[in-house]
Structure 1
Amino acid sequence: MPNIKSAIKRVKINENKYAQNSAFKSAMRTAVKKFEVAAEQNEENAQDLFKNAIKQLDKAVTKGLIHRNAANRQKARLAKKLNNLGA
Structure 2
Amino acid sequence: MANHKSALKRIRTNEKKRVLNKYQHKTTRNAIKAIRLATDKTEATGKLPSVVSMIDKLAKKNIIHANKASNLKSKLTRHVASLN
Given residue 26 of structure 2, which amino acid in structure 1 is its aligned partner?
A: S
Structure of greater relative contact order (alpha carbons < 8 Å, 6+ residues apart)? 2
TM (norm. structure 2) is 0.91
Partners of 1:32 and 1:52 lie apart in 2 by 10
TM-score for both structures, normalised by structure 1? 0.88
1:8 alignment counterpart:
8
CA RMSD of aligned residues (A): 1.2
Paired position in structure 2 for 1:55: 53
Once the two structures are TM-superposed, the CA of residue 44 in structure 1 deviates from its matched residue by: 3.0
Give the ranges of 4+ consecutive aligned residues of structure 1 lying more than 3 Å apart after TM superposition.
none
Give % identity: 31
Structure 2's unaligned 5+ residue stretches are none
Aligned length: 84
